[in-house]
Amino acid sequence: MKRYSVFAVAREALRDHMGWERAWASPEPKKKYDVIIVGAGGHGLATAYYLGRNFGITNVAVLEKGWLGGGNTGRNTTIIRSNYLQDPSAAIYEKSRSLYETLSQDLNYNIMFSPRGVIMLAQTEHEVRGYKRTAQANALQGVTTEFISPARVKEIVPIINLDGPRYPVLGGLYQARGGTARHDAVAWGYARACSAMGMHILQKCEVTGISREGGRVTGVTTNRGDIGCDKLGIVVAGHSGHLADMAGFRLPIESVALQALVSEPIKPCMDCVVMANTVHGYMSQSDKGEMVIGGGTDGYNNYTQRGSFHHIEETVRALIETFPMVARLKMLRQWGGIVDVTGDRSPILSKTPVDGIFINCGWGTGGFKAIPGSGWGFAELMAKGHSPLCDEFGLDRFYQGRFIDESVAAGVAH
């Protein structure tokens, strides 16, 4: 793999950019791999990458029915933070956030991690108490956060309105090293690094069946033929239930649409991510200048990647109250993604009833921020059978009543 650098760009400029290699290869499937990952989204690709990097397992294929990074990786609002309340969540999200810090350098691909800070607004006394508790928990978890005053919120986000007629801003939970990254680049960077290690990324390769023998996985059937494997990782947000069904088990998951929208681009006016959970709205500004706005999920099961418009209305109203200047902006584009929501709204990183099959799903509305940490932990789980980052996120917790509930501190768990 030829390294990317300013020198490489300059060199290529002089020969009309004809010398760039493919970012990732497009090979034919082999008969068998040590590990097959189904799903070439951020989580799947990161899993493959860390299998190679941390465990030397490189006889790996990542199967993707569409185009890599085309699921929720490429359609989320790119927020990265780790100020979660519960220990297992804080552990995996903080691992992830810290990996994001150096991911551009690790992958030699600029994923534009921008630690511009994330503020979660407290707009009721109840939220104030919840976020103060989170700050206390974070201090013990090694996550740097602070509860800040309304005046400080205004200082960081001058366009905010502290005295909305309905919900005043009473403070905020601030994580200065949270931020955003370029979502597509995360998938592309991992894909390029995986390909460089000799892994196969097989796009337009749809899994139609999972073969088992004696309770153990032996391979998959795809539209590009049967492919064998020793271990199978299912990492297919939005379609997890469908794949689990093929493997013969059921998941505590429901799939719903989550919507987002962007405004037309404007000059920089907000160098921070703001989340207002009471009114279900969150906003940041992309490097292109668009205001990136996320909203709530629909209540009904849905695989259409479209949502109901009244959620957009609610989100926009909330944001006009919180950031009055957006009233004079226009919506450029709205879209939806399908998110898997579990029984406690926390993810599942787990062994399954079938030997050799592992599942990574249920990230709900908050998966993008977890990509490196999820890949790191899930690779360890697949390689070694357990991982401190994943052990609490097993399927067994729903039988035991041992939930990891993040809605405790905040209404929405983005």
Q: Under rule CB under 8 A, which residues in 297-316 are in contact with another protein?
A: 299-304, 306, 308-310, 312-313, 316
Task: Identify the CA nearest to 1 among candidates 182, 183, 191.
Answer: 191
CB nearer another protein, residue 173 or residue 229: 173
Q: In the beta sheet, which residues pair with residue 260?
A: 294, 335
CB nearer another protein, residue 104 or residue 229: 104
What is the CA angle 216-43-236, rounded to 5?
60
Query: Which of 155, 264, 353, 384: binder of another protein (CB under 8 A)?
Result: 264
CB nearer another protein, residue 28 or residue 140: 140
Q: Per CB under 8 A, which of residues 330..359 are in contact with another protein? A: 330-335, 343
Residues binding another protein: number (CB under 8 A): 141
Query: Which of 30, 216, 288, 384: binder of another protein (CB under 8 A)?
Result: 288
Q: Does 400 bind another protein (CB under 8 A)?
A: yes
Q: In the beta sheet, which residues pair with residue 273?
A: 118
Q: How many angstroms separate the Cα of 267 from the Cα of each of 57, 193, 286, 287?
A: 46, 34, 10, 9
CB nearer another protein, residue 229 or residue 350: 350
Q: Does 4 bind another protein (CB under 8 A)?
A: yes
CA distance 134 to 83: 7
Q: Are 58 and 199 in contact (CB under 8 A)?
A: yes
CA distance 51 to 371: 14
Q: Is 106 left (phi over 0), alpha (psi -120 to 50) or beta?
A: alpha
Q: Are 231 and 359 in contact (CB under 8 A)?
A: no
Q: Per CB under 8 A, which of residues 12..51 are in contact with another protein? A: 13, 16-18, 20-26
Q: Per CB under 8 A, which of residues 187..206 are in contact with another protein? A: 188-189, 203
Q: Does 411 bind another protein (CB under 8 A)?
A: no
CB nearer another protein, residue 91 or residue 229: 91
CB nearer another protein, residue 7 or residue 213: 7
CB nearer another protein, residue 222 or residue 229: 222
Residue whose structure tokens are 């407290």:
122
CA distance 345 to 266: 35
Query: Which of 90, 236, 381, 410: binder of another protein (CB under 8 A)?
Result: 90
Which residues, 6 or more positions from 364, have their beta carbon under 8 angstroms from its beta carbon? 339, 340, 341, 342, 345, 346, 347, 413
Contact code string over 141-180 relative to another protein, x by CB under 8 A: xx---x------------x-x--xxxxx----------x-
Query: Which of 28, 31, 56, 140: binder of another protein (CB under 8 A)?
Result: 140
Query: Which of 251, 275, 283, 354: binder of another protein (CB under 8 A)?
Result: 251
